[in-house]
Amino acid sequence: MNTFIDIFTDYGDSKFVILPVPFDTTTSLVPGTRFGPGALLSASRGLEYYDMDTGERVTHRIYTMPEDEPPLEPEKMVGWVENKVDNILKDDKFPILLGGEHTITLGVVNPILERYREPVILVFDAHYDLRDAYGGFRVSHATVMRRVSEKMPVYFYGQRVASQEELIYLRGNKNLFTGIDGLKGRKVYVSVDLDVLDPSVCPSVSNPEPGGLSFEGLLNVLKNVFDLNDVIGFDIVELQPVNNPFYGAYTAAVLLKKMIMMKQGRLNG
Ligand SMILES: [Mn+2]
């Protein structure tokens, strides 16, 4: 079985629970994100346990769930994710989802709304994913934040391409925010679509878009968010490792480690 940095630990002893969601049914450009969780976990074997940025060290409190395949139908996949995240939260653990396409994020919405008061979601992404329907799907990677915003506030960071329809919806909607000003003291779920990074940093995505963030740029914003808010879970999605250089999956693995270390530092400090 593929686990984060080859850590084998008991679920009961863990604080962090990694849930692989190998799902890419609605992917439109380059399919293969269903191989993302496996590629990230394999690449994570190359990681150092120590993290120079935070001074934290990876401990054995990180449990990786098996790479079970979710249902192929988007709505059923969302229910599958909801059920698993619900259980992770009920066990007082910190959920981390690995995609798979961005659609999987929709599965965390109902569980966190049930558990937390007025949570928000912060989305790092080159795209808004605010279409009402796409390719015949109302639940898809291109509509996911529209569906999320129907239930809770969404903060956007790093977007650089949009349809006119999406921008009109964005401007007229009280549940949608751009940038992280004003995001302080909140319960925040963080969703990272790897295409927020420049393709030179992480080419292994379904919809690469030039002009993205540097790795350091993303880390700096994340550090702020983890420092100023109570991060209640996160996901890393859209890793598409097929026929891409290894460093894409490895970059995603480094990001995963650093985000866990940021949260661990808050829990310990
Ligand atoms: Mn995207």
101-141: pLDDT as tens digits: 999 999 999 999 999 999 999 999 999 999 999 988 999 99
Query: Which residue(s) pair with 235 in the sheet?
Result: 97, 191
Q: What's the token pair of residue 181?
A: 């000003």
Residue 254 confidence (pLDDT) above 80: yes
Average pLDDT of the residues in 179-186:
95
Q: Which residues pair with 231 in a beta bridge?
A: 188
Q: Which pLDDT score, from 0 to 100, does residue 34 have?
A: 96
Give me the pLDDT at residue 169, please: 96
179 has a pLDDT exceeding 90: yes
Question: pLDDT band for position 28 (50/70/90)?
Answer: confident
State both tokens at 121: 């979601």
Q: State in Å: Cα 196 to ligand 1 middle.
A: 7
Residue 259 C-alpha to ligand 1 middle, in angstroms? 19
Q: Residue 209 Cα, ligand 1 centroid: separation in angstroms?
A: 8
Ion ligand 1 — residues with CB < 5 Å: 125-127, 193, 195
> Which residue in this structure is represented by tokens 């530092």?
265
Spatial separation of the C-alpha atoms in residues 114 and 100, rounded to whole Å: 24
Predicted local distance difference test score (pLDDT) of residue 149:
97
- Span 90-95, mean pLDDT? 98
Q: Crossing angle of helices 246-268/215-228, nearest 10°?
A: 20
- C-alpha 126 – ligand 1 centre gap (Å): 5
Cβ proximity of 95 and 89 under 8 Å:
yes
User: What's the CATH code, domain 4-268?
Assistant: 3.40.800.10
* Sequential DSSP letters for the chain: ---GGG----TTT-SEEEEEE---TT--SS--GGGHHHHHHHHGGG--SB-TTT--B--S-EEE---PPPPSSHHHHHHHHHHHHHHHHHTT-EEEEEESSGGGGHHHHHHHHHHSSS-EEEEE-SS----S-BTTBSSSTTTHHHHHHTTS-EEEES-----HHHHHHHHT-TTEEESSTT--S-EEEEEEEGGGB-TTT---BSS--SS-B-HHHHHHHHHHHHHHSEEEEEEEE-B--TTS-HHHHHHHHHHHHHHHHHHHHHHH-
Give the confidence band of 245 by pLDDT, cuts at 50, 70, 90. very high
The stretch 150-158 carries a mean pLDDT of: 98
pTM: 0.97
pLDDT at residue 269 is higher than 80: no
Average pLDDT over residues 192-197: 98
Tell me how far the alpha carbon of residue 248 lies from the centroid of ligand 1, in angstroms.
15
**From the CA of 127, how far away is ligand 1's center (Å)?**
5
pLDDT for the residue 251: 98
